[in-house]
Amino acid sequence: MLGKGVVGGGGGTKAPKPSFVSYVRPEEIHTNEKEVTEKEVTLHLLPGEQLLCEASTVLKCVQEDSCQRGIYGRLVCTDFKIAFLGDDESALDNDETQFKNKVIGENDITLHCVDQIYGVFDEKKKTLFGQLKKYPEKLIIHCKDLRVFHFCLRYTKEEEVKRIVSGIIHHTQAPKLLKRLFLFSYATAAQNHTATDPKNHAVMFDTLQDWCWELERTKGNMKYKAVSVNEGYKVCERLPAYFVVPTPLPEEDVPRFHGHGIPIWCWSCHSGCALLKMSALPKEQDDGVLQIQKNFLDGIYKTIHRPPYEIVKTEDLSSNFLSLQEIQTAYSKFKQLFLIDNSTEFWDTDIKWFSLLESSSWLDIIRRCLKKAIEIIECLEAQNMNVLLLEENASDLCCLVSSLVQVMMDPHCRTRFGFQSLVQKEWIVGGHCFLDRCNHLRQSDKEEVPVFLLFLDCVWQLVHQHPPAFEFTETYLTVLSDSLYIPIFSTFFFNSPHQKDTNMPRWKRRDLCLFWQGREGQGAQSKPLNLLTVWDWSVQFEPKAQTLLKNPLYVEKPKLDKGQRKGTHFKHQRQLSLPLTQSKSSPKRGFFREETDHLIKNLLGKRISKLINSSEELQDNFREFYDSWRSKPPNYHGLLLPHIEGPEIKVWAQRYLRWIPEAQILGGGRVATLSKLLETMEEVQRLQEKIEERHHSQEALQAEAALLLRTSARLSSLFPFALLQRHSSKPVLPTSGWKALGDEEDLAKREDEFVDLGDV
């Protein structure tokens, strides 16, 4: 086993540098290679998964300041993932399995989850791409779920280094064809595996009946109708086979401009007003064509705008809202705050946390999305107007805004079944280009924009501010965001229903028939291609782990207690939001000590004002509506609006900070409060059980969730993703940045007084 030291050398060809300290001589590693290999974890392959390349004698480093510790083992690359197979006896957290993902292990990275690959050459970090002339001594992989892996290749054989590094670069960065996705290999090979009916988990909106059911549920069937004019995608490949339009609209108008310029129904509220979306007509230079388009739109507008009975407000999201480039730029800056290589880097950037967070503009973008949704709700709820969302293809910002409106207005969308149905309706069937926006095929970085992740972050703000209103937890949202990069589920790997449906038959006719030939004879041609949906959580998690996806505090009936108005706010050591006003000192200090207020003034100054939307800046109607809602007790089964002023918009700590040990509060955070609440609920349930024997199975699961929280070795503010691997006696102070604020020795004393991270 290797000891602490600084890795030097390159690809197994250079001699150790004098600074390296090892408890085992390099030659002993190769001598005992066979013995160590026998202790390595077995590589588990999914159906259809193939091993492509591997390298032995690899050290997976655990960064610790300027030194390193690690686990010795094998690094492998398959057509599905990159995996590190370490020594069984050295595996960390081996007994902590209650939230283990059955598909992806802690040391597994799906190829689609790889964001950037870096190599270390003579202690210099460089981006790796294409064909390499020189191979690195260390491989660093940044993942889209914000994990960071360090692999030391110093003692790996030169040929193995070339093979594994080249293989990883090629299979994660080279452009792919859709038919080469692992999704199809898995589906073909896993035909004998039984899958649950997807309709058990969500309304799929792939039949006319599904749309009719949704119309009936929202009472929209009086003014709107489900149509099958695009059945077989003969009108437009961008639109789903079935959708809903206003009843007065002639169906023959739909094919006129291939589905463009048609108001498509999203949702109806209790007042009868509806939320609609429309893709813009193609831009034309010819005056004659422009006049035809104008006449067409005038006719369409008259079918939905009939004052005083029907009034429509048009919201052009392409020109009056965010741009996709703004979203991508902001997230690119934002994610860098969490891709931390080691403890020293964490503490060096800590003093700049507020300024870095503000300069990314990610929280401001979340605020603008929530504010736009509230503005539309005000039109629907207070002004009794229909709202028509307009966008070029109605498949990005339309999906985002319409989904947020429904989550805030429709309590059905705050249940797990309802939320999953909402994602199916507005995003999957609605034609959001997941394949392009997630860059799954690596064909164009320009198309990659985290629109769906932005939606989940906005929903998290609501979940965080109003926990009793949601049947699902923040852990559910976190694993849903992770599932974007797991290519055994078809949910997030197509640009449209048409693309999915047209690719499935080709595989059934050719590859699937060849696969089953000789097994089932002539019956092979009728075998369906079984593509899993992400909504079957049993594929990823055992029943015990799934209890963490369900919110035990979910309120089944409305509660109007004033005591529940404010909710519990998560107090984290590293401030998760930008401050609006000077806050009171906390009895227990964390990363920002007594100099917090001084730092805020010096680092932010007047720049903070542009990020915070004060109530004076809001329009009169908006302000009146928003303030009126806030003055009333919350109705968790009614309209639910977020708080958007200043520090109310926070960083989604569980998703973004979960892989950073220094950012965890051991035994603290909201999970500690939740644990105590569950204990109380468990006691109440036991008393109820003595009175009447009902709902026993549900109560057992509730008790199971409480037991998981109390007994977990990972109980921290970032439960259940806590990764306690770095062992630092105390934080490293970035002295160069703190000198202007006071004496270093005095700061060190304050650090010891307020922060004890000895167990981290």
pLDDT of 297 higher than 50: yes
**CB of 552 closer than 8 Å to CB of 701:** no
How do residues 728-747 score in pLDDT, each as one tens digit?
A: 433 433 333 333 444 444 53
Chain-centre distance of CA 755, in angstroms?
31
- Residue 280 CB neighbours (<10 A): 16
**CB of 121 closer than 8 Å to CB of 134:** yes
**CB of 471 closer than 8 Å to CB of 550:** yes
How do residues 325-364 score in pLDDT, each as one tens digit?
A: 999 999 999 999 999 988 888 888 889 999 999 999 999 9
What DSSP element (H or E) covers 423?
A: helix 416-423
587 secondary structure, DSSP code: S
Instruction: Quote the Cα angle for 673-674-680, to 5°.
Output: 95
Give the best-scoring range by mean pLDDT among 264-273, 589-598, 624-633. Answer: 264-273
pLDDT of residue 107: 94
- Residue 159 CB neighbours (<10 A): 11
Q: What is the mean pLDDT of residues 435-451?
A: 95
* Cα 685 to Cα 368: distance, rounded to the nearest angstrom: 42
CATH topology of domain 51-90+98-190: PH-domain like (2.30.29)
How do residues 17-45 score in pLDDT, each as one tens digit?
A: 444 444 444 444 443 444 444 455 789 99
Order the strands of the 114-121 sheet from edge to edge: 108-110, 81-86, 67-78, 51-64, 148-152, 138-143, 114-121, 124-127
Q: To the nearest whole percent, how much of the chain has pLDDT over 90?
A: 56
Phi, psi of 104 (to 5 degrees): -120, 120
What is the overall mean pLDDT for the chain? 80
Q: How confident is the model at residue 676 (pLDDT cuts 50, 70, 90)?
A: confident
Q: To the nearest whole percent, how much of the chain has pLDDT over 70?
A: 72
How do residues 654-671 score in pLDDT, each as one tens digit?
A: 999 999 988 888 877 777
Q: Cα-Cα-Cα-Cα dihedral of 748, 752, 758, 759, to 10°?
A: -130
Task: For the chain, give every domain's residue range.
Answer: 51-90+98-190, 208-505+534-548, 665-699
Q: What is the mean pLDDT of residues 567-589?
A: 45
How do residues 103-162 score in pLDDT, each as one tens digit?
A: 999 999 999 999 999 999 998 999 999 999 999 999 999 999 999 999 999 999 999 999
What DSSP element (H or E) covers 668?
A: none
How do residues 595-633 score in pLDDT, each as one tens digit?
A: 334 333 333 333 333 333 343 444 678 889 999 998 999
Give the best-scoring range by mean pLDDT among 516-525, 554-563, 567-576. Answer: 554-563
pLDDT of 709 higher than 90: no
* Cα 563 to Cα 633: distance, rounded to the nearest angstrom: 9
- Alpha helices in 154-307, H assignment, sequence order: 158-173, 182-189, 208-217, 287-304
pLDDT of 380 higher than 60: yes
**CB of 545 closer than 8 Å to CB of 99:** yes
* 308 upstream amide cis, omega within 30 of 0: yes
User: Where do we find the tokens 């015990």?
Assistant: 544
Q: How confident is the model at residue 720 (pLDDT cuts 50, 70, 90)?
A: confident
- Residue 66 CB neighbours (<10 A): 13
**CB of 657 closer than 8 Å to CB of 338:** yes
How do residues 481-513 score in pLDDT, each as one tens digit?
A: 999 999 999 999 999 999 999 987 544 444 444
Chain-centre distance of CA 369, in angstroms?
17
Residue of 474, 280, 478, 499 whose CA lies nearest to 390? 280
- Alpha helices in 305-392, H assignment, sequence order: 324-335, 343-350, 353-360, 362-381
pLDDT of residue 756: 40
Longest alpha-carbon distance in the chain? 87
pLDDT of 516 higher than 70: no
**CB of 140 closer than 8 Å to CB of 121:** no
pLDDT of 565 higher than 50: no
pLDDT of 722 higher than 70: no
Order the strands of the 264-268 sheet from edge to edge: 264-268, 274-279, 386-391, 312-316
